[in-house]
Amino acid sequence: MASLVPCPHCGARPKEEFTIRGAALARPLANADPAAWMDFVYLRDNPRGRYEEHWHHTAGCRRWLVVTRDTTSHEIAASRDAALDTTGAPHP
Ranges within 40-69 binding another protein (CB under 8 A):
40-42, 54, 56, 58-64
Residues 6-45 as x/- pattern, contact with another protein by CB under 8 A: ---xxxxxx-xx-x-x-----xxxx-x-x--x--xxx---
Q: What is the sign of the dihedral through the CA atoms of 76, 77, 80 and 85?
A: negative
d(CA 31, CA 29): 5
User: Is the separation of the CB atoms in 22 and 53 below 8 Å?
Assistant: yes
> Residues in the site for another protein, rule: CB under 8 A?
1-5, 9-14, 16-17, 19, 21, 27-30, 32, 34, 37, 40-42, 54, 56, 58-64, 72-76, 81-83, 90-92
